[in-house]
Structure 1
Amino acid sequence: MSTTDQHVLVIQKLYEAFGRGDVAAVLSFVDPDATWVNQYGQGHFPGQWGKPCRGHAEIVGFFQGINEAVEIQGFNPYEMIAQDSKVVVLIHWNGVVRQTGKPFAVLLVHIWTLRDEKVVDYIGLDDATAYGF
């Protein structure tokens, strides 16, 4: 198996863990000093979801921020594009904003950088205005 194929497998397993709500398993695929950021969420998304993260403790806060802000009803990765240390994933996700009850349906783009089969950098891209925060 090529290194690129191994990286895709890591990201697939990470998403499976996320789908189960198993943050500890997600973190098992993430380097303890990884960076994690949603470029368009900064200043728009509540809590740690809207802030750059470094390391496991802040990444846990990122997931807590998402969980506090939205009820996820669908999270469907539908395409993975991999080259060298990068895996780019296109995802349809939808749910309801807890504060307003407003439904949302958004295209996410996740850009993962891996080293030694661990995520060292994550960039999430989506339309921050779609949630109505």
Structure 2
Amino acid sequence: MGKNYETIKAHYAGSDAHDMAAMMAPITPATAWTEMAGFPCAGTYVGGPAIIEGVFKRLGEDWDGYTFKLERLVDGGDTVVGIGTYSGTYRKTGKAMSARVVHVWDLKDGKVLRFEQFTDTKLVAEAMR
């Protein structure tokens, strides 16, 4: 497998270990991270601090046991695709959710240029109501 594939594999390993430094290692100040419209932290965040604050911190504050379970990682060279499932329980409602998700990563030399998330936002929103 290529360098970009190994980079994203390490990101997901960091996520599993709750190691933010490992997760953010391939992120640069110019990395554009897009969470899908309809998702709780929808929008595009640029650079590590904005991504942590806008995505990871919010998910950690609002959800119990929020996880991404990687089921398949596809090596497309400069594009790597992660396929899996989100799960967690929304703190305000006590409702659990499970939603399929695809992450599309565009990289150059092991650094993330762009990340885009595609998921069933309806399933997530139902847990929040």
Aligned residue runs from structure 1 range 115-130, under 5 A = 115-130=108-123
Following TM superposition, by how much is the alpha carbon of 1:84 offset from its aligned partner in structure 2, in angstroms?
Answer: 2.4
Unpaired runs of at least 5, structure 1: none
| Aligned-CA RMSD value | 1.6
SS, match of residue 89 in structure 2: strand
Following TM superposition, by how much is the alpha carbon of 1:39 offset from its aligned partner in structure 2, in angstroms?
Answer: 2.1
Q: Name segments (4+ residues, structure 1) moved above 3 Å.
A: none
* TM-score normalised by structure 1 residue count: 0.85
Q: Which residue of 2 aligns with 1:10?
A: 7
The one-letter amino acid paired with 1:125 is F
SS, match of residue 124 in structure 1: strand
Q: How many residues align?
A: 125
Aligned residues with identical type, % of pairs: 22
Unpaired runs of at least 5, structure 2: none
Deviating more after overlay: 110-119 vs 24-33: 24-33
SS, match of residue 13 in structure 1: helix
Verify the 8 A CA contact 1:38 1:52 in the aligned structure 2: yes
Q: For residues 79-121 of structure 1, give each alpha carbon's deviation from its aligned partner in whole angstroms, at most 9, with x where no partner exists.
A: 1122121001111221111111101011110000111111111
The one-letter amino acid paired with 1:93 is Y
Tell me, yes or no, if structure 1 residue 26 matches structure 2 residue 18.
Answer: no
Q: Which residue of 2 aligns with 1:54?
A: 46
State the distance in 2 between where 1:122 and 1:73 align: 19
Verify the 8 A CA contact 2:59 2:66 in the aligned structure 1: no
Verify the 8 A CA contact 1:69 1:98 in the aligned structure 2: yes
Q: For residues 36-70 of structure 1, give each alpha carbon's deviation from its aligned partner in whole angstroms, at most 9, with x where no partner exists.
A: 011234xx41xxx2221001111111100111121
Q: Which of 33, 36, 41 pairs up with 1:36? A: 33
Q: Which residue of 2 aligns with 1:83?
A: 76
Tell me, yes or no, if structure 1 residue 99 matches structure 2 residue 92.
Answer: yes
